[in-house]
Structure 1
Amino acid sequence: MKRLGVLGWPVSHSRSPQMHNAALAQLGLKDWHYQRLPVPPEVFEETVRGLPAAGFVGANVTIPHKEAALALADEATDAARAIGAANTLSFGVDGAISAANTDAPGILTALAAIDRAPAGQTALVLGAGGSARAVAYALREAGAARVAVWNRSSDRAVALASDLGVDAVTRPITADLLVNCTSVGLADGNFKDLPIDADALGTYATVADLVYRAGGTELIATASSAGCAVVGGLEVLVRQGALSFQAWTGLQAPIDVMRDSARGAFPDSHDPGTSDSPDRRAADPRRPGR
């Protein structure tokens, strides 16, 4: 049995097992299995180093381990090193650990699916953890005119900005694109702890939320109602997951199967950020920068 998993704390909310196991089944990889791996920070390194001997081929990494995942890797892609965080680990037959970051290309392909390429745009990224680092790097590399980062702890925002050559801000700025890379909304869906109120959301042409949960997030629902183009967390999950899947198996990921299985884990809801969602809204062309 070849094993895969997702490392996080918490990780019970993850839809990755449904998504990846559906993809494995679709391609006839019956001797592969993907599972949740709840691991507290204090035993993260010990756990990861023991995975190859337990039959693991690779693992995704989520909050709060992305920076730690890069630190323990024996080798890493140039992008992962530039970002300073990894969300995809692959294990060699000798136990060597390779790190990559599929969050960065994942957000770009999710934006491209709704025709919202960031080139020439201004962007505000909320958060300063591993996901925020990947998003800020991706937007910068894709030619965004300005990438600004806000975090509740301003020191972390300043450190991220210094590392990646973007701007740290102490309050939200007017921008074309807003990306929430914090965990706000994971527990209850609302965004009251973000520095953006409902009235201000309509000033952003595009809003992306990396959080996903049953019933969706209030941030995405409010932005959609305000006429913004939106990218939901499930779509970003699918896009980055497809890249991880290809790295582990060497096969093209069945992305539609992955999306349907991730969405099907929430039978009472849909993700408005998916490429075929009827709730995706076009941005108002009169908005700044459009």
Structure 2
Amino acid sequence: MIRLGVCGWPVAHSRSPRMHNAALAQLGLDDWHYQLLPLPPHLFTETVKALKPLGFRGVNVTIPHKEQALALADEATETARAIGAANTLTFNDDGTIHADNTDAPGFLAALNRSAYDKTALVLGAGGSARAVLYALKQAGAKEIHLWNRTPARAQALAEEFGASLGVATADIVVNTTSVGLRDPEETFKALPIVADELGAGCTVVDMVYRNGGTLLLNTAKANGADVVDGLEILVAQGAASLERWTGRTAPDKAMREAVTDIAR
């Protein structure tokens, strides 16, 4: 059995196993299996380094481990190093660990508008925020603003990626925080944005996904904004990870159906 998984804390909400196992079945890889790997931060590095002998080919990495994932890798893509975080680890036959970041291309693939010459507001300063900032810069965004609940962390990240610190009205708003992840009643009012500003002409992206959509996306959609659900980004980045592990073209249609069926 060749094993794959997703490491996070928390991770029980993840639809990656359903998505990847549907893809593996579509590809006829019956001896492959994808699973949840709930890992608290203090056990992450030690546990990941022990996965190869257990039959693991690779793992996805989610909150809060993405920066730690890059740090433990023996080698990494230029994209992962430029972002400073990894969401995809591959265990090589020689025992080394390879790091990649498919969040950035996944974000751009799911975004339903060009970011070129647009203004953007990124909420959060973790590994996902790093990928989004990198992607927006690569796509030619005119101006990027960054906010985080910990100002010092936001300031360091803003300086690194050439973003402006603070909140401003923007063409593209991206939530990379965990607001709404644990508690379905948790509102985006914990974020420094006003519902009336999320209207027509604005694209709102939420990396968090929930059955029926997050309150942030539902409010923005009701106000006339274009919205991008975290599920679309999940599929795009997951397909890129799967192709790295298997060497096969990912069946993204089967992957999308697997995660959207459960969302209905």
Q: Any conservation in 1 of the 2:200–2:226 contact (CA below 8 Å)?
A: no
2:205 aligned partner: 208
Q: Any conservation in 1 of the 2:117–2:142 contact (CA below 8 Å)?
A: yes
1:165-215 CA-partner distances (Å, limit 9, x unpaired): 22222xx20110000000101123431211112222227610000000122
Q: How many residues are aligned here? A: 262
Q: Any conservation in 1 of the 2:200–2:224 contact (CA below 8 Å)?
A: no
Q: Any conservation in 1 of the 2:169–2:197 contact (CA below 8 Å)?
A: no
CA RMSD of aligned residues (A): 1.1
Corresponding residue SS for 1:192: helix
> 1:265, CA displacement in angstroms?
2.1
2:163 aligned partner: 166
Matched, 1:97 2:92: no
Q: Could you tell me the TM-score, scaled by structure 1's length?
A: 0.88
1:45-67 CA-partner distances (Å, limit 9, x unpaired): 10000010100000000000000
Matched, 1:46 2:46: yes
Corresponding residue SS for 1:265: helix
Amino acid at match of 1:209: D
1:151 aligned partner: 148
Once the two structures are superposed, the pairs formed by residues 162-201 of structure 1 within 5 Å of their partners are 162-169=159-166, 172-189=167-184, 190-201=187-198
Once the two structures are superposed, the pairs formed by residues 200-279 of structure 1 within 5 Å of their partners are 200-202=197-199, 205-266=202-263, 269=264
Identical counterparts, % of pairs: 63
Amino acid at match of 1:18: R
Amino acid at match of 1:7: C
CA distance in 2, matches of 1:205, 1:21: 35
Amino acid at match of 2:60: N
Query: Is there any run of 5+ residues in structure 2 with no aligned partner, and where?
Result: none
1:72-121 CA-partner distances (Å, limit 9, x unpaired): 0000111111111000000001221000000000000001xx3x010110
CA distance in 2, matches of 1:86, 1:165: 20
**Which range is displaced more, 159-168 or 237-246?**
159-168
Q: Could you tell me the TM-score, scaled by structure 2's length?
A: 0.97
Query: Is there any run of 5+ residues in structure 1 with no aligned partner, and where?
Result: 270-290
Amino acid at match of 1:188: D
